[in-house]
Amino acid sequence: MIDTFNDAPDTIKRPEPSPSGPCLEVFAACLAGDGFSQISKANYMRVASYLCRWLIAHGHDLATLDEAALATVHEDLRRGPRMRGGSCRVAGFPPAAHRFLVWLRAEGWVTTVAPPSPPLPPLVAGFEAWIQQHRGLAPRTLRVYRSLLLVFLAAVGDDPKTYTAATLRTYVLDLSQRAGRSFTKLGATVARMFLRYLATDGLVSPALIDAVPKMAYWKRASLPHRLDPADVQRLIDACNPRTAQGRRDRAMLLLLARLGLRSADVANLRLTDLAWPDGRIWVCGKGRRREALPLPQDVGDAILAYLVDGRPKADDDHVFLTTTAPTRALHPSSVGAIVTRLAARAGIALPRVGSHVLRHTLASTLLNEGLSLPSVSALLRHIQLDTTLIYAKVDPALLQTVAQPWPLPVAP
């Protein structure tokens, strides 16, 4: 396996027989299975082989390799000669060596353990445990709350006894000067939630919860962003069906445009969610609610084309995977970035960056075509019909059924 990485003249030579030889063979096979390019595999193997030779030369056992040893090897590399068998950028050594060490630990080749992450402040840890018990937040939402709480604590301090209505108002006002309305609104929400937790434990007065200012917000005051149906088709046509990436992107776009899925719905879709015999697809959306949606023919064909000829071979059961190594599931933000990139390729000016504009477009189009509001609400998987009412504002025919006649005569 290692021999296949030595085609280029500047790659490492095959390492001499040593106790680490079998380890390198297995590592090489794993790199090949993860879909790394020939050049990337050669670079990783060069670093791994150098590490093994360095350990042997200095009388160390591979099982004792840890972060401190990596730092020592890196420093020696910076001051000493280049790696034998070809050049190696010193700047590229730490990430490659770290990946090798992570793999060694996962496979049981080393006995050292990774250094623990810095512990969370007691107030943050207690708040997370409390909100998980009472709200059951998704991990991604919990990370957002954690980051905003750390911002709050950095601004007002970690001693609840010093919190006053004035300091809380100052925090929100300062935050509004540095961030947008949505971010400030969420920051204030997290602050109130944190104060509610503190009040539950008797650390602050419950009256402080109402001291956090609320951002001005008028429900359904804005219009939903949407595209023309012709632009949606241009966006889909921007995918190149002759490439694996194009087939993947086309399948994702059709899920967004035909079923109104959110970016997280697409990113979290798994192979077991595709109920081919029933012509349905299972989606786990907000609130971890699992619901079945009909799978249109063109959407199913696009997904099948990607699965048959395009999806990398991997142990991951997510439907949509990255096209670059290491092969892994797409992040929801990557789905939105793909939509933005394809829109730029098609020459479409998105009214809103990301994939959610396709969800708005679908809802508005269906209402314009005469579909009832409850039917659109069911397709979008809204818990309350009230959430879907925003789309009624872009349907003139629907508005005419509820608009009151003007009571005064109209001037000629």
Average model confidence (pLDDT) for the chain? 83
Determine which one of 53, 234, 382, 393 is catalytic: 382
Taking residues 303-314, report their average pLDDT. Answer: 92
Q: Let me know whether 21 and 160 are in one domain.
A: no
User: Known catalytic residue: 345?
Assistant: no
Inter-helix orientation angle 122-135/139-156, to 10°: 140
Determine which one of 98, 286, 341, 345 is catalytic: 286
Q: Let me know whether 200 and 101 are in one domain.
A: no
Q: Let me know whether 249 and 383 are in one domain.
A: yes
Burial of 119-141, coded b for 16+ CB within 10 Å and e otherwise, reads eeeebbebbbebbeeeeeeeeee
Q: Let me know whether 246 and 385 are in one domain.
A: yes
Q: Let me know whether 391 and 246 are in one domain.
A: yes
User: Known catalytic residue: 382?
Assistant: yes
pLDDT of residue 16: 46
User: Known catalytic residue: 356?
Assistant: yes
pLDDT of residue 327: 82
Domain end residue (candidates: 181, 211, 241) = 211
Determine which one of 192, 196, 356, 393 is catalytic: 356
Q: Which two tokens stand for residue 282?
A: 């299972």
Q: Let me know whether 282 and 379 are in one domain.
A: yes
> How remote is the C-alpha of 119 from its chain's centroid?
24
Q: Let me know whether 278 and 166 are in one domain.
A: no
Lowest average pLDDT, out of 106-120, 141-155, 335-349, goes to 106-120
Which amino acid, one-letter code, is at 269?
L
pLDDT of residue 10: 38
The answer as to whether 114 is a domain residue is: no
Model confidence, pTM: 0.64
Q: Let me know whether 286 and 352 are in one domain.
A: yes
Taking the CA atoms of 124, 125, 126 and 127 in sequence, report the sign of the dihedral they define. positive
| 250 pLDDT more than 90 | yes
User: Known catalytic residue: 359?
Assistant: yes
- For residue 397, what pLDDT band results from cuts at 50, 70 and 90? low
d(CA 48, CA 51): 5
At 116-131, the pLDDT tens digits run 778 888 999 999 999 9
d(CA 231, CA 257): 11
User: Known catalytic residue: 290?
Assistant: no
- For residue 333, what pLDDT band results from cuts at 50, 70 and 90? confident
Q: Let me know whether 66 and 28 are in one domain.
A: yes
Q: Let me know whether 198 and 238 are in one domain.
A: no
Q: Please tell me the total count of domains within the chain.
A: 3
d(CA 294, CA 278): 9
pLDDT of residue 385: 76
CB 12 within 8 A of CB 42: yes
The answer as to whether 112 is a domain residue is: no
User: Known catalytic residue: 391?
Assistant: yes
Q: Let me know whether 367 and 304 are in one domain.
A: yes
Determine which one of 262, 311, 318, 360 is catalytic: 262
**What CATH number did the domain enclosing 377 receive?**
1.10.443.10
**What CATH number did the domain enclosing 206 receive?**
1.10.150
Domain holding 97, by residue range, is: 2-107
